[in-house]
């Protein structure tokens, strides 16, 4: 009879070593953790065959610009938030973690949500997934939303109108704060100019140094 301590007994993983390995695949930013593509939880989602196809393939730094802005300028109303074109969803995850907000994470590409769920789990929160396009978000969908934001969502000419019109409906519906972050693509500036001409608001230059380095601009509209 083999003894219970046979050489086939699986070894316990060296948790210190594996944590260290995982830690090198994570960035920490303003109290949330952001995995790189090489993190084991992200690799597992990829292995399962989920392939985002409209650039929802990583965490884009425009999301960090929005997080930094919201941390420094917390809106009064922040119970319900909508992350439009959420991708891996870090901005909504930040709101769920820091403000206990109810977060709807919306994206046209269903393949982003397994990645978002993995990032949310690493941060110990969850958000509600919604497969939807900017052009299909109705005024009715926005009526209970306190904050609407989107990181790097106006990157093609064809997105200028849909993003602008979604903001028009958000203003109409009474959304309190709107923040769109961008690495300063011409399409973003075109949308922002048109929007400010209609509703007011401002474009702010924003810069991050430290763990995440980024520069860009934020379209900010206060509608309260």
Q: Which residues bind ligand SAM (CB under 6 A)?
A: 54-56, 59-60, 62-63, 85-88, 107-109, 112, 133-134, 151-153, 155, 162
Q: Are strands 26-29 and 32-35 parallel, antiparallel or unpaired?
A: antiparallel
Distance CA 36, CA 206 (A): 23
Q: Closer to ligand SAM by CB, 56 or 201: give it.
A: 56
Nearer to ligand SAM, 86 or 125 (CB): 86
Q: How far is the CB of 8 from ligand SAM (least distance, A)?
A: 45
Smallest distance, ligand SAM to C-beta of residue 193, A: 20
Can you give the three-state secondary structure of 79-107, one letter per residue?
CEEEEECCCCCHHHHHHHHHHCCEEEEEE
Output 62 or 123, the one with its CB closest to ligand SAM.
62
Minimum distance from CB of 88 to ligand SAM (Å)?
6
Cα–Cα nearest to 130, from 110, 150, 151, 154: 110
Q: Round to whole Å and give the CA distance between 152 and 199.
A: 21
Q: How far is the CB of 19 from ligand SAM (least distance, A)?
A: 25
Angstrom distance (rounded) from CA 80 to CA 127:
11
Q: In terms of CB distance, is 153 or 171 closer to ligand SAM? A: 153
């Amino acid at each position: 009879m083999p003894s219970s301590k046979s050489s086939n007994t699986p070894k316990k993983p060296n948790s210190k070593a594996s944590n260290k390995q995982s830690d090198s695949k994570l960035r920490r930013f303003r109290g949330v953790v952001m995995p790189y593509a090489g993190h084991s939880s992200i690799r597992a989602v990829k292995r399962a065959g989920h392939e985002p196809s409209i650039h929802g393939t990583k965490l884009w730094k425009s999301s960090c610009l929005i997080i930094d802005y919201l941390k420094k300028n917390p809106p009064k109303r922040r119970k319900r938030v909508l992350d439009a074109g959420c991708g891996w969803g870090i901005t909504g995850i930040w709101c769920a973690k820091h403000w206990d907000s109810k977060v709807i994470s919306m994206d046209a590409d269903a393949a982003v949500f397994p990645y978002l769920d993995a990032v949310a789990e690493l941060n110990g929160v969850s958000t509600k997934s919604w497969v939807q396009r900017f052009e299909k978000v109705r005024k009715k969908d926005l009526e209970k939303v306190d904050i609407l934001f989107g990181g790097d969502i106006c990157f093609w000419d064809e997105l200028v109108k849909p993003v602008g019109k979604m903001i028009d409906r958000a203003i109409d519906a009474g959304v309190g704060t709107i923040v769109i972050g961008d690495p300063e693509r011409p399409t973003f500036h075109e949308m922002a100019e048109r929007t400010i001409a209609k509703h007011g608001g401002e474009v702010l230059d924003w810069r991050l140094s430290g763990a995440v380095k980024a520069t860009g601009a934020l379209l900010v509209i206060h509608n309260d």
